[in-house]
Amino acid sequence: MTPVKSVLPLLAALGMTAPAWSQTDPADWDAVTAAAEGQTVYWHAWGGSTATNDFIAWIGEKAAEEHGVTLEHVKLSDTGDAVTRVLSEKQAGADDDGAVDLIWINGPNFAAMKEADLLFGPFAEALPNWQYVDVDGKTVQTDFTVPTEGYEAPWAMAQVVFMYDTADLDAPLPSAEAILDWAQANPGRFTYPQPPDFLGTTFLKQTLIELVDDNTVLSRPESEADFQAVTAPLWDYLDALTPVLWRQGQAYPATGPAQLQLMADEEIDLAISFSPGEASTAIANNQLQPSVRTFVLEDGTLGNASFVAIPYNSGSKEGAMVVANALMSPEAQLRAQDPAILGYGTVLAMEKLPEADRAAFEALDLGVATLSPAELGDVQPEPHPSWMTRIGQEWIERYGVVQ
């Protein structure tokens, strides 16, 4: 779910390795909270959404009130910037008290940092609130096919949905081909964020998953496949789609929020989202017309979890664990799922929750535009992170425009 600029090639070229430095044992929670008292945690996280920023501020208030931890949100436009910062510190020998204490991360950036041993851990499965996490029904122990092994803690679930204005589009579109047919019949009314923006490359992955003959090939590194042969249907599809996009594919919204604004301004009638509750949240916040609804494709859509990870050289590892644990708490998860707040999917298993918390989730109104879990249908797994990197690069070469 996070904006991604992969640093995997750089790390691989440098052959980086580092010890997973440890301080307090994550399993000794009393010791963790005692050490966390008075620490400042610099959480490097996407800062492109006011609603998300407000939620992070609320988490900071809880961390300060309950454990004396100060949370500073370092707002990013690209997660890769934080990864590069940790890498630069490692190269400079700054192995203690680094600038980054916590990262909102997934996909190629997690794979890169894990491969280079730039992460603290394992810690996630030792946190008290891990007991409530849905390890059977949700992808919380793998990240783009890479085992997390306790080096990152999940805090939100995401799945691709398409937002559409029912005033202009009569019914949901069942497939990528149907989207193309509709776009050709309604030129200029659809677009997606410009790769390498995370949501833009998500649209590319979603389309590839549907068009490829055997999508199991995507679970392996792209270097093990014939990249051009596998992706040929995607480029044929985009060659047909691009000329009928908003502004004839000569310009793209830079981010998901920018795309949402185009829908709010009634410049487009169809948009991609990686948050099933985003449309309901936007309607509740008067950002979108009440006539907007969401749909998924008949063969299912891409889904994944958002995680937080702690760099190996954080000087506030205990405080970072406190924040990670707070993010997985039933209280925080309920707040995040509320469409008036964020509308994110929960990482928790309802059957594991205390009765009062379970009842609170059951009573939550998910919003007029949010599909039920049954309506969301099958979740398509993320491809190996190398596919995201490669198709993003290829898209830029083929269709990239200067903003």
Residue ranges of domains in the chain: 8-154+306-366, 159-303+381-399
Tens of pLDDT along 81-94? Answer: 999 999 999 999 99
Torsion angle (degrees, nearest 10) of CA 238, 159, 286, 44: -100
Banded pLDDT at 221 (limits 50, 70, 90): very high
Average pLDDT, integer, range 96-119: 93
What pLDDT is stored for residue 49 in this prediction? 87
Enter the tokens of residue 155.
């805090």
User: Residue 18: pLDDT band by 50, 70, 90 thresholds?
Assistant: very low
- The reported pLDDT for the residue numbered 198 is 87
On the question of pLDDT at 19 being above 70, the answer is no
Q: What's the confidence (pLDDT) of residue 378?
A: 76
Residue 184 has pLDDT above 80, yes or no: yes
Task: Output the pLDDT for position 20.
Answer: 40
**Mean of pLDDT over the chain:** 91
Residue 131: predicted pLDDT:
98
- Whole-number pLDDT of residue 91: 93
What whole-number percentage of the chain has pLDDT above 90?
Answer: 78
Q: How confident is the model at residue 169 (pLDDT cuts 50, 70, 90)?
A: very high
> pLDDT-derived band of residue 13, with 50, 70 and 90 as boundaries?
very low
For residue 62, pLDDT beyond 90: yes
Domain 8-154+306-366: which CATH number of 3.40.190.10, 3.90.1140.10, 1.10.10.1800, 3.40.1280.10? 3.40.190.10
Per the CATH hierarchy, to which homologous superfamily does domain 159-303+381-399 belong? Periplasmic binding protein-like II (3.40.190.10)
Per CATH, 8-154+306-366 and 159-303+381-399 having the same topology is answered yes
Measured between alpha carbons, how far is 177 from 194 in angstroms, rounded to an integer?
A: 20
pLDDT band at 145 (very low <50, low <70, confident <90, very high): confident
Residue-level pLDDT at 1: 52
pLDDT band at 402 (very low <50, low <70, confident <90, very high): low
